[in-house]
Chains A and B, each alone.
Chain A
């Protein structure tokens, strides 16, 4: 795909603070105990874990979760951390994948007090550092909202005044995550919802997939040189990254994270 090549080939210039994150010692599995569950939508639930010894994390990092059956069979999946760092607490938002191996257990079966193995945080590419002063554009597709929510929460918790704009593409209003929190107005955080299937009554934008007009109307002008974070399904991410480049954004300032089919 020629357009994707453009995005990734020029990306070596990078953004500021692109510095390797270093751990003390090798990554290891820890025990995570579920302490609380919150429904986000009909298909997704936030799980609050207590992870003794959690070293903290950066906004946008993820963890691997491992389940092991009694017969020894084990399987693992990656999930973005939704929460800002807060002691030993780590929040994940898990969307249920029908017939998945891991997500139905996490989203439905697991109860407070139950334990899983978890390792992390990992990933130093798709992260936002509060010391970066460039304006930030967040573009979420569906459950791609999760790591972007961590960035919004870290911005809030650190008292950052970096201006954020969020474009959040979802099928219907009922598919939006984190509504109680995102409904509270926050200075410097602008949110635009882009509905792809059903818009609320009175909406002027007909339901459709994200396009250049959306990014032009609700994003930052390219000359403001924002840091752009795009997260969602593969097709959504590629479309959005291409549109941003066409609108004049520096490919080196566009960071992407894709959700591929993983068997859930």
Chain B
């Protein structure tokens, strides 16, 4: 633990969260590639890491994914009956790995 309150996650000391692996299904409903293996970039602290390593809170309307470094909300996904809201306000970019080109 560090006494620096900026790096101490505010949300839940009991570790009451899942990780970004849990986003694979909800995001897989939308995208043809697996986004959890992509590298995200936090708008708040600049941390770069896999979406799979985000801290995901599901006891909210939808799912809220926070940066494991600074606890900033990087991604939210809420599913309604006719549409899905994907809020990426805390994400500078997603770098998505691609398969190597196939030789002809």
Interface residues of A (CB under 8 A from B): 1-2, 4-5, 7-9, 11-12, 14, 18-23, 25-27, 62-64, 76, 78, 119-120, 122-126, 233-235, 238, 255-262
Q: Which residue of B lies closest to A125 (CB)?
A: B52
Residues of B within 8 Å of A255, CB to CB, are 52
- Report which of B8, B18, B97, B100 forms a contact with A260, defined as CB distance below 8 A: B18
Q: How far is the CA of A78 from the CA of B63 in the complex (A)?
A: 14
Interface residues of B (CB under 8 A from A): 1-2, 4, 7-9, 15-22, 24-25, 28-30, 32-34, 36-39, 47-53, 56, 58, 68-69, 96-100
Q: How far is the CA of A257 from the CA of B47 in the complex (A)?
A: 19
Please tell me if the beta carbons of B58 and A18 are within 8 angstroms of each other in the complex: no
Please tell me if the beta carbons of B68 and A234 are within 8 angstroms of each other in the complex: no
Please tell me if the beta carbons of A64 and B25 are within 8 angstroms of each other in the complex: yes
Cβ distance A76 to chain B, nearest Cβ, rounded Å? 8
Please tell me if the beta carbons of A1 and B33 are within 8 angstroms of each other in the complex: no
Please tell me if the beta carbons of A26 and B32 are within 8 angstroms of each other in the complex: yes
Q: How far is the CA of A23 from the CA of B53 in the complex (A)?
A: 22
Residues of B within 8 Å of A262, CB to CB, are 18, 58
Main secondary structure of the interface of A (DSSP, over half): mixed
Residues of A within 8 Å of B51, CB to CB, are 125
- Report which of A5, A63, A257 forms a contact with B69, defined as CB distance below 8 A: A5
Given contacts A5-B69, A12-B49, A124 and B18 within 8 Å (CB-CB): no
Residues of A within 8 Å of B37, CB to CB, are 18-21, 124-125
Further pairs besides A5-B47, A12-B50, A257-B19: 9, Cβ < 8 Å: A5-B7, A8-B50, A20-B99, A23-B28, A76-B25, A78-B24, A125-B24, A258-B17, A258-B18
Residues of B within 8 Å of A21, CB to CB, are 33-34, 37
Residues of A within 8 Å of B8, CB to CB, are 1
Cβ distance B64 to chain A, nearest Cβ, rounded Å? 13
Please tell me if the beta carbons of A124 and B49 are within 8 angstroms of each other in the complex: no
Residues of A within 8 Å of B34, CB to CB, are 20-22, 122-125
